[in-house]
Amino acid sequence: MSAPTVEPTTAPAAAPADTAPAPDPRLREGAFGNATALACRECGHQVALGPFYACPECFGPLEVAYDFPAVTREQIEAGPRNIWRYKALLPVPDDIEQSPNTEPGFTRLLEARNLAAELGLDKLWVKDDSTNPTNSFKDRVVACALSAARELDAKVFACPSTGNLANAVAAAGARAGMKTVVFIPSNLEKPKQVNSAVYTDKLVAVDGNYDDVNKLASEIAGEEEGWAFVNVNVRPFYAEGSKTLGYEIAEQLGWRLPDQVVIPVASGSQLTKVRKAFQELVALGLVEDKPVRIFGAQATGCSPVSTAYKAGVDAIRPVKPDTIAKSLAIGNPADGIYVLDICRETGGAVEDISDDEVREGILLLARTEGIFTETAGGTTVGVLKKLVETGQLDTSLETVVINTGMGLKTLDAVADRVGPAATIAPSYSAFVASGIV
């Protein structure tokens, strides 16, 4: 993708809009809504809105900066029942609803009374993103990335993925009528491969783990013109889609923040953006400020952030993933250090569990609340259980746990743990003899 001009500036990340770099003249007015620039999280340097993800000064990650207008609860509530109800708070144009997309979001927030009783919690909610169009939270981030790709006149919509993102990119690209190419590790779960291949004939399996696939995508993004890799060169826009999870939790709780949130950690972007969403709602006066403890969940087979948290260090040491929770199998998480900072700052923690405990987490959520989650959700529920058992989570506080995807995508994880309790002849006497109840 051809890069718009980078405007040098020394303005800090929180600089007012009038110090932000001039927008690229090739962009249409309002292409990114109320976004004003891309700001470095490390040094505050700002660059013009465009296909950039690393600071030209210090190579720190860039994120979207805004000049938000006055926004009311009533304006949001009058919007569509999808993420575009928050379009004033996202890097998308005001006419975003006119462009074909998968319209994700506004998924249910389910009070989990049975699971709460099982774990000894006073108040527990499950934010269930398995009901998004391709059955995972990735539809949210892809919707924002697709808008950016359109505005930047990208010719190819693409991603490296551990599965759910591949499904979301393939589906959104098909609906948008864009050429779409998806790169995945060759050992990815078969259902996730099928879920992408039905939307695109450009599914590319790479011999290696996700970090190898991501490296290849970064090389292609640097060499080829017109490619929008949703989680590489348009990553700052993509990541903003995760904020809508935080917005929805607050709105669905009656415009207030929960006391505690448990969030799975792969790259760590989702956790950092949920926190950003809460902070933005407070700054805009849409919710009352209060402490929110934030907890991260990883599988032990890929737990570099949890390991650093427990060791009390600030550096994340990359690992080679070896876990059934493949959607969390990112050995070198881009936002890992920010996850550490947020969990420590808010009084939360980062915890990990074994693959057997991931499977138990899947069954626990299914058999208490009727929600069949994928391995990432099993990890989150399993970590919630461990946090309670180890006294790290306050059971008297209102807690939200995030389910990021559908269990039908990772059937193999529990296929050998479940099945018929008995096989009987079609007669009442056989039923009685089985002793099934």
Q: Residue 221 domain-assigned?
A: yes
Q: Residue 74 domain-assigned?
A: no
Domain-ending residue, one of 214, 234, 254: 234
What pLDDT is recorded for position 15? 39
The answer to whether residues 263 and 217 belong to one domain is no
DSSP tag of 385? H
Q: Please answer whether residues 294 and 342 qualify as being in contact, where contact means their C-beta atoms are separated by less than 8 angstroms.
A: yes
The answer to whether residues 293 and 151 belong to one domain is no
| CA–CA dist 161, 184 (Å, integer) | 5
Q: Which residues of 222-247 are buried (b: 16+ CB within 10 A; e: fewer)?
A: eeeeebbbbbbbbbbbbbbbbbbbbb
The answer to whether residues 127 and 180 belong to one domain is no
User: Sheet containing 349-353: which strands, arranged edge to edge?
Assistant: 109-111, 123-128, 398-403, 260-264, 293-299, 349-353
Return the structure tokens found at 429. Answer: 């006497």
DSSP tag of 184? E
Q: Residue 58 domain-assigned?
A: no
Strand pairing category for 179-185 and 203-206: parallel
The answer to whether residues 240 and 251 belong to one domain is yes
| CA–CA dist 56, 48 (Å, integer) | 12
The answer to whether residues 348 and 385 belong to one domain is yes
Return the structure tokens found at 10. Answer: 């020394």
DSSP tag of 8? P
Return the structure tokens found at 38. Answer: 């891309």
Q: Which residues contact 218 (CB under 8 A, 6 or more apart)?
A: 229, 232
Task: List, as one string, the DSSP characters of 301-343.
Answer: TB-HHHHHHHHT-SPPPP----SS-GGG--SS-TTHHHHHHHH
Domain-ending residue, one of 198, 215, 234: 234
Q: What is the pLDDT along the chain (437 residues), one digit of tens a residue?
A: 544 333 333 233 333 444 568 878 888 989 999 999 999 999 999 999 999 999 999 999 999 999 999 999 999 999 999 999 999 999 999 999 999 899 999 999 999 999 999 999 999 999 999 999 999 999 999 999 999 999 999 999 999 998 899 999 999 999 999 999 999 999 888 888 999 999 999 999 999 988 899 999 999 998 999 999 999 999 999 999 999 999 999 999 999 999 999 999 999 999 999 999 999 999 999 999 999 999 999 999 999 999 999 999 999 999 999 999 998 999 999 999 999 999 999 999 999 999 999 999 999 999 999 999 999 999 999 999 999 999 999 999 999 999 999 999 999 899 999 998 899 999 999 999 999 88
Q: Is 350 helix (H, G, I), strand (E, B) or coil?
A: strand
Taking phi first (over 0 means left), then psi (-120 to 50 degrees means alpha), and beta for anything else, what does residue 190 get? Answer: alpha
What pLDDT is recorded for position 19? 57
What pLDDT is recorded for position 12? 31
Provide the whole-model pTM.
0.92
Question: H or E segment at 180?
Answer: strand 179-185
What pLDDT is recorded for position 1? 53
What pLDDT is recorded for position 354? 98
Write the CATH number for 189: 3.40.50.1100
Q: Residue 131 domain-assigned?
A: yes
Q: How many CA atoms lie within 13 A of 272 on its CB side?
A: 19
Q: Is 20 helix (H, G, I), strand (E, B) or coil?
A: coil
The answer to whether residues 317 and 249 belong to one domain is yes
Domain-ending residue, one of 234, 249, 271: 234
The answer to whether residues 159 and 149 belong to one domain is yes
Q: Domain span at residue 202?
A: 137-234
Distances (CA, A) of 170 to 21, 221, 329, 355: 34, 18, 20, 29
Return the structure tokens found at 430. Answer: 């056989």
Number of separate domains in the chain: 2
| CA–CA dist 161, 167 (Å, integer) | 9
Return the structure tokens found at 415. Answer: 């296929």
| CA–CA dist 259, 294 (Å, integer) | 9
Q: How far from each other are the two terminal CA atoms of the chain, in whole angstroms?
A: 63
Angle between helices 190-197 and 164-176 (to 10 degrees): 10
Q: Could you tell me how far CA 170 lies from the centroid of its own chain?
A: 17
| CA–CA dist 75, 7 (Å, integer) | 34
The answer to whether residues 405 and 320 belong to one domain is yes
The partner residues of 184 in beta bridges, in order of sequence, read 205
Query: Burial of 292 by CB count in 10 Å (0-12 exposed, 13-18 middle, 19+ buried)?
Result: buried
The answer to whether residues 113 and 198 belong to one domain is no
The answer to whether residues 230 and 263 belong to one domain is no
Q: Is 398 helix (H, G, I), strand (E, B) or coil?
A: strand
Q: Residue 61 domain-assigned?
A: no
